[in-house]
Amino acid sequence: MSDPLSDEPLPEFELPDIADLMPLEGDIADDTQRGGPVSVERFLYIGQGLKADEFSHYVESYNFGRQPPDFVVLHHTAIPSTQTAPYPTGWRWDSSESGLTEGQIYRKRLKQLEALREFYRTGSGWDRGPHLFIDEKWIWLFTPMFEQGIHAKEGNGYRDSTGRLRYSIGIEVCGYFENVQWSAPVAALVGHAIAVIKRKLGNFEIKHQKFSGGISSHRDYNKPSCPGKAITEPYYVGVVQAAWDRLNNAPAVATATTAITASSPLLGSPSGTREQAIAFVRKALPATSEYQKDVETILNYYWVYAPTVGLDPFLAAAQCIFETGGLTSGWCARPKRNPAGLGVRQEGGLSFSTWDAAVQAHIGQLLALALRDDEANDAQKQMMSRNPRHANIKPELRGSAKTLSALSSRWTDDAEYGSKFASRAEAIRTS
């Protein structure tokens, strides 16, 4: 597990008033029949943020009990909203974070999560709430998943004709999604969370279905505007299906007889597997490397993010391996964490506080070379913006490299770069 609770001082910031947390539509009491005062000790609350790989490990060993949940209900918080999915008024989950380290952001958001707990506890008299809150960085554990939550009235749970309890996992996505869809990092985490739970339980399908056996949203029960008009059933089912495919390597993967060459496209389905990339690095990584325990985590980020924007995750990971000598170069070492020589020629090289951010920047750089703005969708544009040097990419380079060969004399000054990259990618896949 990562340890974001560092000793770094947390700057002062203003927590929202309870009144600022009221929902946009109707009375939140409609979601339950509970009422009355509830003590902090009685409120079912965890209060921990996990990265994608941490959540995977958490769920793998999680005991859901004798009657586990068998459907999912999606929500948006609306208030709080976020910078990328703003509501016109009210506080924002990710406000006042400029200049903060990731550890400081974690602790700030944890305090905000506690404020939400107090809203449910004192404002509504609940003894529990939704199970997960998800933002662009963490999957936040709120109410234990082996307990029925409170979040969607009859969508919370019910007894079927045999008397068996059927209950849902309630997921709150931070933001207001009436006009915009989830950003790529948010979509990746939402999809990943549901896919990991499905893999563990195996008792619901990736399809829109009210009640037991599928995935639904708050509007299926009692709140027509939640989780936002932009989050349609085909959209969120597609997000989860893509995450499920990534988790199980279901997308078409080129066979060993279909060689990766300089003409291979950057955009498309995976041309190799995560396991091939991990095995290649592990085989050559020195026993003394600082990344001995982090290979899976680092390379997994490529499969978390790249497929959400149409980029081949294997080729992106292969470029990281190629550029860093299999995670051994000085530029990729902490505290730089530069995955592919980003900005080394132009701005003296970028550094990143986390590998999560580093991989997104790398993917954003590849997308910017593969696509012009008029060719990119919103998710791809958002991923490009996560590259700190995006504005420094020359206009004539935008959309100029759709294949590996076109990276020659663009990614570096080497006219043979694309061929060398292709050879290394093929070696990773076939070794």
Domain ranges for the chain: 18-248, 274-430
Q: With bands split at pLDDT 50, 70 and 90, how would you rate the model's confidence at 39?
A: low
Render the burial of 50-63: b for 16+ CB within 10 Å, e for the rest.
bbbbbbbebbeebe
Q: What is the architecture of the domain spanning 274-430?
A: Orthogonal Bundle (1.10)
Structure token pair of residue 274: 């995560």
pLDDT of residue 167: 97
Identify the CATH class of 18-248.
alpha beta
Q: With bands split at pLDDT 50, 70 and 90, how would you rate the model's confidence at 256?
A: very low
Structure token pair of residue 63: 């005991």
Q: Which helix (H) or strand (E) holds 244?
A: helix 233-248
The residue-averaged pLDDT of 408-413 equals 92
User: How far does Cα 248 stand from its chain's mean position?
Assistant: 17
Residue 302 to residue 96: CA distance in whole angstroms = 29
At residue 101, φ and ψ (nearest 5 deg) are -75, 170
Cβ-based neighbour number of residue 27 at 10 Å:
9
Contacts of 64 (CB under 8 A, 6+ apart): 145, 146, 200, 201
Q: Which helix (H) or strand (E) holds 116?
A: helix 102-118
User: How far does Cα 7 stand from its chain's mean position?
Assistant: 26
Residue 170 to residue 268: CA distance in whole angstroms = 33
**Helices and strands (H, E) in the chain, number of each type:** 11, 7
Q: With bands split at pLDDT 50, 70 and 90, how would you rate the model's confidence at 296?
A: confident
Residue 143 to residue 127: CA distance in whole angstroms = 9
The residue-averaged pLDDT of 290-311 equals 87
Contacts of 170 (CB under 8 A, 6+ apart): 73, 75, 129, 130, 131, 132, 143, 149, 150, 151, 152, 155, 156
pLDDT of residue 34: 45
Q: With bands split at pLDDT 50, 70 and 90, how would you rate the model's confidence at 27?
A: very low
Distances (CA, A) of 228 to 85, 94, 134, 197: 10, 19, 15, 23
Q: Tokens 């012009």 appear where?
A: 372
In the chain, the percentage of residues whose pLDDT exceeds 90 is 70
Q: With bands split at pLDDT 50, 70 and 90, how would you rate the model's confidence at 42?
A: confident
Q: With bands split at pLDDT 50, 70 and 90, how would you rate the model's confidence at 20?
A: low
Residue 276 to residue 274: CA distance in whole angstroms = 5
Residue 428 to residue 407: CA distance in whole angstroms = 19
Query: Does 17 have pLDDT greater than 70?
Result: no
User: How far does Cα 159 stand from its chain's mean position?
Assistant: 33
In the chain, the percentage of residues whose pLDDT exceeds 70 is 88
pLDDT of residue 347: 84
Q: How far apart are the first and last CA of the chain?
A: 31
pTM: 0.62
HSE value, Cβ hemisphere, 13 Å, CA-based, for 12: 0
